Amino acid sequence: MGALDGIKILELARVAPGELCTMLLADMGADVLKVETPDPNAAGDAEAARRAAFSFVNRNKRSLSLNLKAPEGQAVFRKLATSADVIVEGFRPGVMKRLGADYDTIQALNPRIVYCSLSGFGQDGPYQSYPAHDMNYLSMAGMLGLIGEGDRKPAIPLNVVADYGGASLHGALGIMIALFARERTGRGQHVDVSYLDTSISLLAATPNMRFFFSDGRAPKRGAGFLGGSYPYYAIYDTKDAKLLTIGCTEPWLWENFCKAIGRPDFAKHARKPDQFVRAANAEEDAARREIEAVIKTRTRDEWYEILVGADVCVGKVYDVEEVPGDPQVRHRQMVVDVEHPTHGHIRQFGVAIKMSDTPGSIRRAAPASGEHTEHVLKDLGYGADDIAALRTRGVV
């Protein structure tokens, strides 16, 4: 039994951050129904259906194809919403109102609904209708300008920060808080999650922002003790042209590293209190370069074994293909096989949140678009003739 068994969620995400938000809840037992735009070409595309089954963010879900621009489609959605616990939508503000499915409309039908809106800039404010993506939010949050080396343009951190660390995780947390509050009040509420807001919050939690408001000390790209310029927190080249990460921000761990590479004299370059926002000085930079020369004398994996044995914070910079084979990843079941009725074994990354009493699970691979349409409509009381008519009119 999952922790969220019995919780019904309607997903109108359209993009992957909303899909990951609901997947995290589906893994814990929630019944997530994806509401997708009907695609008349989807049924005949076997290759697209095969690939869809491997979708990480859509596992443990069902799929309903429904045209929300049609009045009949809106009626079907409102019927679903009357018995739902959660709605997650990822449109720009105002779109759901035009579709007759905004929070006020649904809340009048179902006062217990928890309605989560994931949008770039939130449901109000001067930017609410602007389009943007992950990199745009990070740039406006002040985060992108801090990532990378000081003498180059900022490095783009894929789309993991604003999209997933920001919207997905904050959305899932907001939903859980609202469900918890509903247990006390009996009422649902609107959860308004902004990609920009959450990016600012994530940046604010970093150590290099510690003295921004208190002392007016603003960090710069490539500076600060986590910026990569200091020898104790850096990426090093190895003999086999691979990379190794060293993250010894505690003086005693740095001392362990210095002893392990045969340079105990470098222990004097341990982290100091004045390094929150400044870059490494000439002496510290020279030490990092000397250490790199030492690290280049052995392979990545040789150094990893040596440094793990010396109690050092060290990591291999893996290529993606190497991750599934790592013994810790395999032990923690972060790569698993899911049975699919058509495609056999579907390899997936596993459930990251480990629960001792109500563990998450992967109960089904991701659905093809509209795979469960007929079943869902029958559960709502639609007969075979009604469903056929809806298909003819392009409603489903």
Can you tell me the mean pLDDT for 321-348? 91
In total, how many domains does the chain have?
A: 2
Q: Catalytic residue at 163?
A: yes
Indicate the residue among 267, 291, 325 that finishes a domain. Answer: 325
Q: Are residues 21 and 71 in the same domain?
A: yes
Q: What is the pLDDT of residue 44?
A: 65
| 286 domain-assigned | yes
Co-location of 91 and 193 in the same domain: yes
Do 353 and 274 have their domain in common?
no
Instruction: Tell me whether residue 210 is in a domain.
Output: no
Residue 218 forms part of a structural domain: no
Same domain for 264 and 383: no
CATH classification at residue 78: 3.40.50.10540
Last residue of a domain, one of 325, 354, 379: 325
Instruction: Characterize 254-263 residue by residue with b for buried, 16 or more Cβ atoms within 10 angstroms of its Cβ, and e for exposed.
Output: bbbbbebbeb
- The whole-number pLDDT of residue 8 equals 98
Q: Of all residues in the chain, what percent carry a pLDDT higher than 70?
A: 99
pLDDT tens profile 346-356: 899 999 999 99
> Considering the domain boundaries, does residue 208 fall inside one?
no
Which residue in 45, 163, 285, 326 is the catalytic one?
163
Residue 54 has pLDDT above 90, yes or no: no
Give the HSE-up count for residue 129: Cα atoms under 13 Å, Cβ half-sphere.
4
Same domain, 176 and 88: yes
User: Does 131 lie in the same domain as 51?
Assistant: yes
> Measured between alpha carbons, how far is 389 from 75 in angstroms, rounded to an integer?
15
Q: What's the mean per-residue pLDDT of the chain? A: 94
Q: Does residue 90 lie in a domain region? A: yes
Residue 253: give its domain's CATH number: 3.30.1540.10
| 228 found inside a domain | no
Q: Are residues 118 and 176 in the same domain?
A: yes
Domain-ending residue, one of 291, 325, 359: 325
Residues 237 and 343 in one domain: no
Q: Across the strands, what pairs with 116? A: 88, 191
Q: Is residue 117 a contact partner of residue 175, using CB atoms and an 8 Å limit?
A: no
75 falls within a domain: yes
Residues 277 and 186 in one domain: no
What's residue 164's pLDDT? 97
If you average pLDDT over residues 266-283, what whole number do you get? 93
Over residues 8-32, mean pLDDT? 96
Residue 146 shares a structural domain with residue 81? yes
Predicted TM-score (pTM) of the model is: 0.94
pLDDT at 343: 81
User: In this structure, what are the phi and psi dihedrals at residue 241, rounded to the nearest 5 degrees?
Assistant: 65, 30
Same structural domain for residues 294 and 367?
Answer: no
Whether 319 and 350 map to the same domain: the answer is no
Q: Can you tell me the distance from the alpha carbon of 18 to that of 34, in angstroms, rounded to the nearest whole number?
A: 11
Q: What is the mean pLDDT of residues 20-27?
A: 98
**3-class secondary structure, 29:** coil
Domain extent for 190: 8-202+336-392
How many CB atoms neighbour CB 6 within 10 A?
10
pLDDT of residue 148: 93
Residue 296 covered by a domain: yes
Mean pLDDT, rounded, for 208-224: 91
Q: What is the mean pLDDT of residues 149-156?
A: 92
Average pLDDT over residues 364-384: 92
